[in-house]
Structures are given as C-alpha cells and as structure tokens.
C-alpha cells in the first residue's frame, strides 16, 4: 500500500502527471469568472465563496479521469487485481493520492484566489476549513465514478455526469459554510453535516468502488 | 502447490468459447496452450487468473498462487525500469529486483524510462516482473511477442529456472519456445458448441 | 370548452406540452418495440431455415 | 480421470419468481398488455377530461388548478419510477434475474419523461403563481437533481457494451445514487426555504384539496400509474427481444 | 474528408462516444451555480449571461480531449498522416465534427438553462446568437490545443491550461454580447468583434494545428 | 515505383540509432529488416514513412507511396470490422473492401465491433487495411505478432500477391515469414556509434 501511494505520487509529479494542473484550472476558472460576469467588485464579493467552491469542485473533477484510466489502459489494474493487495485498499490509497496531489493544493491556493474575487476578510478562514473538510469526500466519491466508467474509452465526461449529482450534498454544505463564514453567520450546523458526509463517504464508498471495479475488470 | 482444473467452461462477451477443459498442473510442469486465433486462450487464462468467473467447472489451487502476464505489460512509461520493477516487488511484498534485472539483461537500461524502450525491451521488462512476484504459477499470454531470438532463449532459461525451483507455468503461444519437456494442450477440440450455454448470461434468452 | 380566463395560455400550454411528451414517449416505445420484434423474427426465421 | 459427474439441473423456480424467466415473462406480458393499455387510456382520458372540463376554478389559483391533474401524477410517478428501479436493481444484485435488470433499464426513460413533465408543468404553473418560471425551491431543486440522476443512469447503460456488466454497474449506481438523492434532499432543504405547496394528498383533511379536485385527480393518478406499468412492461419486452436477438446472432456467429 | 466527418460523427454517437455529454455537463454546471452561490433570483439574473457562457466554454473544453487523443492512442493519426488527406483538412473536419456534436447542442440548450438562472427575457435571443457565433471558434481553437498536447498521456488538463487563455477574447466578447443583450444595451460592437475572431480563427488556426500535430507525430 | 535510400542516419529520442543505411527497393521486391531488440528497426520504418525526419541521408521515391503498419493497428473498437475498413478505403480514395475481407478471411467477423476481436483477429484486420490503401510500398513493423500459423501463411500469400502486382514491401520481423525470395537486411552492423552525432539534436551541446 505504501508502494502504491509512493508510485501514484511519483507518477503525478512526472511529466504529464497532472500535479498542479488542477490548481492551474482552478486559477483559470477563477480568472474567467470576472471576465464573464463583469468586474463589479461588490457583485464578485457576493458570489466569491460559492464560485471558489465550484471552481475547486470542477478542478477536482477534471483530474479524476487520471485516477484509474491510465492504470486500466496499460493493464496495471488487471495485475493489481491478481496481487495480494485487496482492491478496496488499493482504491482508498488511490483516492488518498488524488487528494494529496489535487485537493490539498486547492485548499492551499484558495485564499490567494479569494483575494482575486474580493472575498470578504472573515471568509478566508471558513473557506479553507470547509475545503479542507470537503475535498477528501470529493476525491473518494470521484474514485467511485472513476471505477464505474473505467471500461469506457475516454469516459471522462460520462464520469462527470455521474459524479456531479453525487457531489451535490458536499457542495451545498461546503459552500454554505464558506458563505455563512464570509458574512459572519454561525457555521456550526453545515460544518457538522460536511464532516459527517466526509466521514461516512470515506468509510463506505471504497466498497462500492471496489465492487464496480471488479465488474469492470471481468 | 498444484493447479487442478475440472470440466471448466469459460465465456467471453456472454458467449461460451471453451467447454469441458480439465487438466492438472503440478510443480515443475509447464503446459503450453495452443489453438488458432480467437479460440479462447486469452479467455481461459483470464478465468484461471481469477479476473472473470467461469461459467461452470472447478478451479482448485489458483487462489493467490498466480502471476499473470497479459497481452499488455502494465508498465508506466513515465517510471524508470528500476522503479517499475520495485513497485511490483513491493506490491507482492518482496524487495529484491536484482535477480530479475539479471535474468532479462536489463542492467544497462535500469535508469531509462520505460516509455523510451523498444517493443522488445518493454516485453523483457514485462517478463522480468514475473520474477519479482514470487508467485509459483506463471500464466503467460503470448510472452515472446516481439522478442528476438536471444531474448526468447533468455525467457526459456527463466522458465526452466522457475520450474527447477518448484514453480509451474501455463503459456499461450503460437510459436515454438524451445521448452522440450513441455506438455501441450490444444484448445481447438474444446471449442464450445452453441448448445453449451449452461450458465452463460445469454442462456436465459435462448 | 371551459372558460380558462387569463390563465388560458398557462393551462393550455401545460396540457399541450405534457401530451406531446407523453405521446412522443409512447410513439418511440412502440417504434422501438416493433423494430425489435421484426429483428428477432428475422433472426429466428434464419435460424429455422438452417435447420 | 474420467468420472463424469451428472450435470446438476438448475432448480426451476416456481411461483412468482418463475416470471423472471424471459420467455414466461414475454408470454405473460403479451396476455395482460392489451388490457393494461386500454385501462390506462381510459383512466387518463376520464381523469384529464373530467379535470379539464368539469371542475370549477380555484378561488385563489383560478383556472391554473387544472394543471394539477398533470403535475401531481407525473411528479409522483417520477419518484416511484426511481423507486421501482431501485427495487429491480436490488433483485438483480441478489438473485440475478435478467428480467429484473432489463425492467430497470426499461423504466428509466419513462421516469425521465415523467420528471420532465413535472418540471415543465411546474414551470408553466410557476409563471402565474409565483411570477417566475423557475425558483430554487428545495422541492424543485431536488427534482432537478433527480432528473440528473436519471440522465446519468441512462448514459451509463448506453455507454457499456456488455449487457451484464452494464446491469451490474447501473445497479450499483442506482443504489449509491439513491442514498445521495436522499442526502441531497436534506441538503437542499437546509439550503433554502421553499415556495412550494406542502403535501396535499395527506390523510390529514385540514390540508387536503377540496373533493371536487380530489376525485378527478385520483383517477388521473391511476391513469398515470397504469400507463407507467404498460410502458415499462412493453419496454421490458422490447429489451428482452433485443437481448434474445443478440444472443441468437452470437450463437450463429459460432456455428 | 466526408468519410472522416461521417466516421467522427458515427463514433460520437456510439457507446462512450460522448455525444450529449457536453450538454449534460453544461446542464450540471448551470445547476451547481445556484447551489454554490445561493438561490437569490435577482443575484442569479445578474450573473446568468456570463455564467452560461462560462459553462458552455467549459463543456466545450472538456470534450476536446476526445478530439485527437483517441486517434492518437490507437495509431490512427500516424496512419492518417501518411494518407493522401492533408492534415490541415483532417483537422478542420475534426473541428467541424466536434462543433456539430458539442457546440451546436449547447447553443440549442442554452435558452432552457437560461430559464433556470432567471435570465432576463431579452437576453435569450442574444445569448443564442452569441453562442452560435462563438462556439465554432471554441472548437477550432480547441483543436489547436488538442494538437499541441496529443503526445502527453492524459493531456486533458494540460490542454485546458493551454487553451483557456486562448479562449479569453472569445469569452469576453461573447459574454459581453449576452450581457448587454440581457439589459437591453447596444450589442453591435462586441458582436462584430466576435464574428471577426471566429472567421479569423477558422481561416488560420488549422495551419497552426497541423504544424503542431506534425511535430508531435515525429 | 522504386525506393532508394542513401546513407541514411536515423535517431530516436535525440540519439542516433542507425547510420549509413543504403538500399534500393524495386517493384516486386521484398526486403526483410532483421536485428536484435532495440537495434532501431521501428525507428527506421517511421523515418521512411515520413513520420520523423532523418538526421542525414536521402530517401527517394517514398512520398505518397507508402502504406505503413505500426505496432498498433489504428482500429476503432466501437466501429465494426466493415466500418473500420470502409473508412480507411475512403481516406485513400477507394471503395472496394471485399478483396481485403476475402484475403484475410474476415467474412464472418464483418459485423463484429473491432473491440470484441481477439488479439490475432485484430491483427488480421490491421493487415487487411493495407490492401485497401492501394499504395505500392508496404512498410510493416512485426506484422505477424500474435498470428497463428494459418494466418501467417495468409499474410505471406497477401504479400506475394502484392509483389506480383508490382508492389514492394519492407518488413521488420524476428520470425520466419516463409517468403523465400526475400532479401534480408540485418541492421545490426549499422548501429550508430556515439561519434555519429552529425545533425542529432544533442550535437549542439557536445
Ligand atoms: C418546476 C417547478 C415544479 C416542480 C419540479 C414541482 C415538483 C413537484 C413535486 C415533486 C410534487 C409532488 C410532491 C409529493 O407529492 O410529494 C409536486 C406536487 C405539487 N405541486 Fe409542484 N412543482 C413545481 C411547481 C409547482 C407550482 C408552480 C405549483 C403551483 C403553484 C405547484 C403545485 C403543486 C401542488 C398543488 C402539488 C400537490 C402537492 C401534493 O400533492 O403533495 N408546483 N410538485
Ligand atoms: N464481446 C464479444 N462478443 C462475441 N464474441 C467475442 C466477444 N469478445 C470476444 N469474442 C470472441 O471470443 C473468442 C475468444 O477470444 P480470445 O481473445 O480468448 O482468443 P485467443 O485464443 O486469445 O486468440 P488470439 O490467439 O488471437 O489471442 C474470439 O473468437 C473472439 O472473437
Ligand atoms: N527517448 C529515448 N532516449 C534514448 N534512447 C531511446 C529513446 N527512445 C528509444 N530509444 C532507443 O532507441 C533504440 C531503437 O528503438 P527501436 O524501437 O527503433 O528498436 P527496434 O529495432 O524496433 O526494437 P524491437 O525489435 O524491440 O521493436 C532502442 O535501443 C531504444 O531503447
Ligand atoms: Mg489472445
Ligand atoms: Mg520495434
């Protein structure tokens, strides 16, 4: 398992590995928002927490198709499935690697991009907290989507379609925390819900993903 | 360690391709699968390796004993030869890759990224992976594709060494590997007829 | 025809839209069903011809 | 080794499960479909004509109440169709009856159309009532999300070549999706307070719509239910025939 | 060339071909916007034209990686490059097929999604017009990005990164047309600019794309 | 129609792999490239097919004359066998695919999606593509990989028919194809030494 994590991280850092691309995408979407909705700063401040969450979610989503597809194409998944490592563990490790290479950088970059969108001052703290709690759920749910669509050539977009509705609860509670935080309201309830979702998903989702992957390998 | 297959029926795409396959494979033995293109060798190997369920029949002694090498090699083109082998060694709970490097003369290529190897060099690396798994039964699907004559001999040596250590091998191939004492199983006669649908997912609809 | 008052547009268009959607669904269903039936019959006939 | 064991005949299921056999299912559906079609057409016609022509206007909503005869039945069926798919998926996962998987596949497009009708009639109703086509009311939003779940489910069926693989994967998706659909419902409720009507068909008479609207509505709902059943039964038959065609062609290719 | 167009369209319609997935993505992004920024309809109406443009752009972007990558992986591009068809023509045809399967459905769906975001009534016409004029440019520019990154495994995200800045002018003018249209301002200038960009891009871009592709095939 | 190669030097990954290659290939001739794994056969074929520029030397008569078949086949798994072939026929401005179907006995598989073929069947389809191009010079990189004995004979027949019609072929392979009158070019002796860097992209830094 440590070997798998190390390998996935190494691969992400190599040429074409996609480390930092999620980040770049996040950055660019954030930059394009003022270009498309116009530059009024009070408007931007109102939509900033929500759009930052949306941008992070999209960035996360887009890097998902690397999660399994590459290993599928070159036969690594077949070989992993015949190895002593249980698939559930392999998938959890892969989700973890995805979070480290995508979710974590997004969390760290979010405050900087918040400045670009005139995020009100108290919002920064809550934005980071909510992303830190929420992005692991995004990675884990995403690995389920990736496992479902791994047999489909260039399933990337199909995967988006399947995964996005599954992201809805996480997005709602996450954005709610950030939004309430930005205007100084109480954030405890959505924060607890967010944490609950993340924990539940981490505990249960790998089994569903492994089941889907086994079917696909068949 | 021994593999016993009884009255196996395997399917691909919901259609049975081979039925009534039975054989035993004991330590030190090698069995060559032969048969024309599309006769179902790959399907049989995948079933034995546990990647797909058989339609009917028993497979005994396969669980956690099999190192499978498919048409594709499972190599990462962005990792070096060394890193690729080390990864698979660790997955199978082992450390030493030098023997494998040695056996397939990859010494000079250790630092090269797998993506820059030629077709035959890649294949050699894929075969070296078998040595680091430590699994007793090798299942190989056309292992010598794009290997030159020297490399085929290298491969035969590796198989013989594996057998001498009490391993076994099941190899699907169209060419002669130079393994003299090998038994041969021609899958041609076991081709499933359209009636052999017991358990196939299409059966319910016929 | 009942007098629908100022909401005639809304009521009529919702009935029209729903009926169109429903009849499209039924039409497509029947079309696909017929096609599948024909295809199956063709294949079964061929199988019988052979023996 | 030449001990040939006698091939164990799979136990033929009897009773209810025997209809999980595609051939028996086709025979059964062939027998009851005509009745079902007629019943559904009659109920729909009676309910809708009664509702459209022979009910008074509501004192607040004017003639727009007439939309209720389409809106409520289709909304109910949209949810129930998903529920039926969930049950069918579970049966497939546990007992692996092909008919069950194909019934789930057949129900999905019917479910989407029902969802669409509920959305469209709701939107048209919203214009006079709330002054807007669309509002991000929790019930409306969760319906939109349900619509997306349907789309994803259908797209997954379409994308996968092997029917059994597709059945397995869509079943898993249906299970996981159902959990998340419920979660979304709660999330959406938390996120926004609604404009939408509460449940008006509850047994609690206080909230209930008046009887003049109630009875035609019940007939219309019965019509939608029957139409749904007829469509799903018929479409399941179509799916079975397609599967059988495929199986026969595959067998022929091997002759 | 007709053969290539027919094949690309057929492939798009087949299983996993991705027809309609761009559309689905557009729909989903539009749905997620209110979930993240909150349900206030007056706020949504203000940001609607811009976000619809942004959504269409992202949907277009995401389906780009199918444009060449599949043909690259299975060796089709190598074989096409040695065929009598000039690469410039092949790339134009592929961009056209991409527009037909992605851009056109987006244009047709945009009004419906406008309803969801409370787009003001006059905005619908201008939104459709601007998308109709702008999306072909997105496909053509995208084919350049795809040609640049075709050698990189799972280059999807890298491609997004390269292409997004190139999309900026189209986005600015396109969103400007839609925004001005929505509030009843004059739209002629940005409309002309948008048309100019599209025409220029269609005339020149295929040569750049073909050059990039030739380098990658080497 | 004839291909003339003079003093060619080819490189892969910025490193020259073969130098000083010269040969002529006239109508009706077949030239077999041999050489151990990694000696540069694939690189040479790609250069001749115009996919990468040579470091130095001349290639004459190759422009628009070559049908190239690489390690991978350029097949769409979602299109049927027929549709795949028809597409390539149209790209090369031709219509008739029956001869190709016939030559590689694909008749029974015409309606099958290419993705559901076995390794050998896929390869046969890939080779059938050569027949619909109508190009005179075939350049084949290990064409018989995963083909069974029958299919190799089928392939040899197709090559002979092509030669008889005035075509030519250049084939890189490790096994015996049963083409008796073939000339053989062993690329081993042409291996580039580290000094042969004239024109290589690294040269400027040495
Ligand atoms: C696009 C917009 C709309 C959607 C998606 C929608 C959705 C639904 C759903 C899902 C139900 C069934 C709930 C249940 O029975 O549990 C329902 C019922 C109902 N809707 Fe809507 N609705 C929409 C707009 C409207 C509007 C504008 C009105 C009228 C002002 C309205 C009036 C009703 C009524 C009276 C019921 C019956 C309540 C009940 O029986 O529970 N809806 N709607
Ligand atoms: N989805 C499918 N539907 C029907 N038949 C299929 C499907 N997939 C594969 N087949 C057929 O199953 C048979 C077995 O294929 P398999 O790959 O096992 O053959 P093989 O013996 O490995 O052949 P090769 O020597 O060419 O590798 C082939 O005839 C193939 O065409
Ligand atoms: N990026 C690179 N850097 C350095 N060397 C490389 C690079 N890419 C390929 N090579 C080397 O170039 C040589 C030529 O490879 P090529 O694929 O042409 O060999 P080949 O004769 O086709 O071998 P095979 O019979 O195995 O297919 C090989 O030794 C390979 O390792
Ligand atoms: Mg095989
Ligand atoms: Mg080679």
Round to whole Å and give the CA distance between F156 and F177: 7
Span D173-200, mean pLDDT?
80
- H-run or E-run covering F86: helix F81-91
Round to whole Å and give the CA distance between D199 and D209: 10
Q: Is F110 on the interface with D (CB under 8 A)?
A: no
Q: Which of F66, F74, F77, F83 to mutate to test the interface with E (most CBs of E within 10 A)?
A: F74
Any ligand 3 atom below 6 A from CB of F70: no
Predicted pLDDT of residue A208:
94
Span B37-61, mean pLDDT?
88
Q: How far is CA D175 from the centre of its chain?
A: 15
Cβ F115–D161 below 8 Å, yes or no? yes
Q: pLDDT averaged over chain E?
A: 84
Round to whole Å and give the CA distance between A154 and E154: 10
Any ligand 1 atom below 6 A from CB of D105: no
Give the pLDDT of chain F (206 residues) as one tens digit per residue: 688 888 888 888 778 888 888 888 888 888 999 888 888 899 999 888 888 888 888 888 777 788 888 877 778 777 888 888 888 888 888 888 888 898 888 888 888 888 888 889 999 999 998 888 888 899 998 888 888 888 888 899 899 999 898 889 999 988 888 777 788 888 888 887 766 555 555 666 65
Closest to E95 (Cα-Cα) out of E17, E8, E16, E24: E8
Span D208-216, mean pLDDT?
69
Give me the percent of chain C exceeding a pLDDT of 70: 80
Distance from CA of A68 to the nearest CA of B (A): 13
Token code pair at residue B180: 């003299």
Round to whole Å and give the CA distance between E120 and E123: 6
Q: CA-nearest residue of chain A to D162?
A: A216
Cβ D145–A176 below 8 Å, yes or no? no
Predicted pLDDT of residue D74:
93
Kindly tell me the sign of the dihedral angle through the C-alpha atoms of A118, A120, A123, A124. Answer: positive
- What confidence tens digit (pLDDT) does each residue in D128-138 have? 877 777 778 88
Any ligand 2 atom below 6 A from CB of B15: yes
Q: Where are any strands of DSSP class E within chain C?
A: none
Token code pair at residue A31: 């930059």
Give me the domains of chain B, ranges plus CATH numbers.
Answer: 28-53+63-185 (3.40.50.300)
- When mean pLDDT is compared across A133-137, A195-199, F11-15, the lowest value belongs to F11-15
- When mean pLDDT is compared across A191-195, B194-198, F196-200, the lowest value belongs to F196-200
Whether the CB-CB separation of E61 and E163 falls below 8 Å is answered with yes
Contacts of F40 (CB under 8 A, 6+ apart): F10, F12, F17, F18, F187, F190, F191, F192
Instruction: Give the pLDDT band of residue C23 (cuts 50, 70, 90).
Output: very high
CA dihedral F184, F189, F193, F198 (to 10 degrees): -50
> Which of F35, F121, F175 is opposite residue B175, by nearest beta carbon?
F175
Query: How is chain C split into domains, by residue range?
Result: 9-50
- What confidence tens digit (pLDDT) does each residue in D89-130 have? 999 999 888 899 999 999 999 999 999 999 999 888 888 877
Q: pLDDT averaged over chain A?
A: 85
Predicted pLDDT of residue D3:
32
Q: Is a pLDDT exceeding 70 seen at residue A16?
A: no
Predicted pLDDT of residue D136:
80
Phi, psi of A92 (to 5 degrees): -60, -45
- What confidence tens digit (pLDDT) does each residue in E13-47 have? 665 556 677 888 888 888 888 888 888 878 888 88
Range with the largest mean pLDDT of C3-12, C34-43, E176-185 = C34-43
Residue for token digits 């931007």? A44
In this structure, are strands B15-26 and B2-12 parallel, antiparallel, or unpaired? antiparallel
Round to whole Å and give the CA distance between E15 and D159: 4
The alpha carbon of B127 and the centre of ligand 5 are apart by a number of angstroms equal to: 17
Predicted pLDDT of residue D9:
41
Give me the percent of chain D exceeding a pLDDT of 90: 37
Round to whole Å and give the CA distance between F119 and E93: 31
Round to whole Å and give the CA distance between E158 and A21: 6
Q: pLDDT averaged over chain B?
A: 85
Q: CA-nearest residue of chain E to D148?
A: E28
Q: What is the CA radius of gyration of chain B?
A: 18
- What confidence tens digit (pLDDT) does each residue in B155-192 have? 998 999 998 988 899 999 888 887 777 888 888 888 87
Q: Is a pLDDT exceeding 50 seen at residue A47?
A: yes
Predicted pLDDT of residue D254:
62
């Amino acid at each position: 398992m440590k070997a798998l994590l190390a390998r996935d991280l190494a691969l992400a850092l190599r040429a074409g590995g996609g480390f930092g691309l999620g980040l770049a995408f996040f950055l660019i979407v954030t930059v394009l928002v003022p270009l498309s909705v116009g530059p009024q700063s009070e408007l931007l401040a109102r939509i900033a927490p929500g759009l930052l969450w949306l941008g992070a979610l999209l960035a996360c989503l887009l890097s998902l198709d690397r999660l399994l597809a590459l290993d599928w194409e070159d036969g690594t998944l077949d070989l992993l499935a015949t190895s002593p490592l249980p698939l559930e563990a392999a998938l959890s490790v892969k989700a973890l690697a995805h979070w480290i290479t995508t979710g974590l950088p997004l969390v760290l970059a979010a405050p900087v991009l918040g400045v670009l969108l005139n995020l009100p001052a108290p919002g920064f703290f809550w934005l980071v907290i909510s992303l830190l709690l929420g992005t692991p759920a995004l990675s884990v749910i995403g690995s389920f989507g990736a496992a479902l669509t791994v047999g489909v050539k260039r399933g990337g977009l199909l995967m988006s379609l399947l995964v996005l509705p599954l992201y809805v609860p996480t997005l709602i509670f996450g954005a709610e925390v950030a939004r309430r935080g930005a205007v100084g309201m109480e954030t405890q309830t959505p924060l607890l819900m967010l944490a609950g979702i993340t924990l539940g998903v981490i505990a249960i989702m790998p089994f569903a993903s492994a089941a889907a992957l086994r079917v696909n390998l068949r | 360690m021994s593999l016993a297959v009884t009255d196996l029926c395997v399917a691909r795409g919901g259609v049975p391709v081979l039925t009534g396959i039975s054989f035993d494979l004991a330590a030190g033995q090698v069995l060559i699968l032969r048969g024309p293109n599309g006769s179902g060798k790959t399907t049989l190997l995948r079933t034995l390796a546990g990647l797909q369920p058989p339609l009917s029949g028993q497979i005994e002694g396969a669980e956690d004993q099999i190192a499978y090498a498919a048409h594709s090699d499972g190599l990462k083109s962005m990792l070096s030869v060394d890193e690729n082998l080390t990864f698979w060694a660790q997955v199978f709970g082992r450390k030493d890759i030098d023997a494998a490097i040695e056996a397939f003369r990859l010494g000079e290529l250790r630092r090269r990224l797998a993506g820059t190897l030629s077709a035959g060099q890649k294949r050699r690396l894929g075969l070296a992976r078998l040595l680091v798994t430590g699994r007793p039964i090798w299942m190989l699907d056309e292992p010598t594709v794009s290997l030159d004559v020297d490399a085929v001999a290298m491969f035969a040596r590796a198989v013989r060494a594996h057998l001498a250590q009490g391993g076994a091998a099941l190899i699907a191939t169209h060419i002669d590997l130079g393994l003299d004492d090998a038994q041969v199983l021609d899958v041609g006669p076991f081709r499933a007829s359209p009636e052999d649908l017991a358990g196939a997912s299409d059966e319910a609809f016929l | 025809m009942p007098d629908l008052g100022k909401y005639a547009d809304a009521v009529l268009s919702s009935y029209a839209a729903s009926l169109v959607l429903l009849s499209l669904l039924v039409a497509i269903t029947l079309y696909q069903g017929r096609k599948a039936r024909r295809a199956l019959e063709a294949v079964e006939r061929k199988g019988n011809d052979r023996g | 080794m030449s001990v040939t064991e006698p091939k164990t005949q799979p136990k033929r299921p009897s009773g209810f499960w025997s209809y999980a056999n595609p051939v028996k299912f086709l025979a059964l559906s062939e027998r009851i479909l005509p009745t079902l079609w007629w019943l559904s057409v009659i109920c729909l016609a009676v309910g809708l004509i009664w509702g459209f022509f022979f009910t008074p206007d509501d004192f607040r909503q004017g003639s727009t109440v007439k939309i209720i005869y389409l809106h409520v039945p289709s909304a109910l069926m949209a949810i129930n169709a998903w529920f039926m798919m969930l049950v069918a998926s579970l049966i497939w996962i546990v007992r692996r009856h092909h008919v069950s998987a194909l019934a789930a596949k057949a129900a999905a497009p019917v479910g989407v159309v029902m969802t669409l009708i509920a959305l469209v009639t709701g939107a048209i109703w919203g214009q006079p009532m709330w002054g807007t086509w669309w509002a991000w009311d929790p019930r409306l939003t969760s319906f939109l999300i349900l619509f997306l779940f349907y789309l994803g489910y259908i797209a997954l069926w379409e994308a996968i070549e092997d029917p059994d693989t597709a059945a397995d994967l869509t079943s898993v998706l249906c299970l996981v999706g159902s959990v998340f659909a419920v979660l979304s419902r709660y999330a959406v409720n938390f996120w926004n307070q609604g404009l939408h009507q509460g449940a008006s068909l509850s047994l609690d008479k206080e909230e209930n719509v008046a009887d003049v609207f109630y009875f035609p509505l019940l007939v219309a709902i019965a019509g939608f239910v029957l139409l749904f059943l007829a469509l799903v039964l018929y479409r399941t038959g179509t799916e079975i025939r397609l599967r059988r065609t495929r199986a026969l062609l595959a067998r022929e290719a091997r002759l």
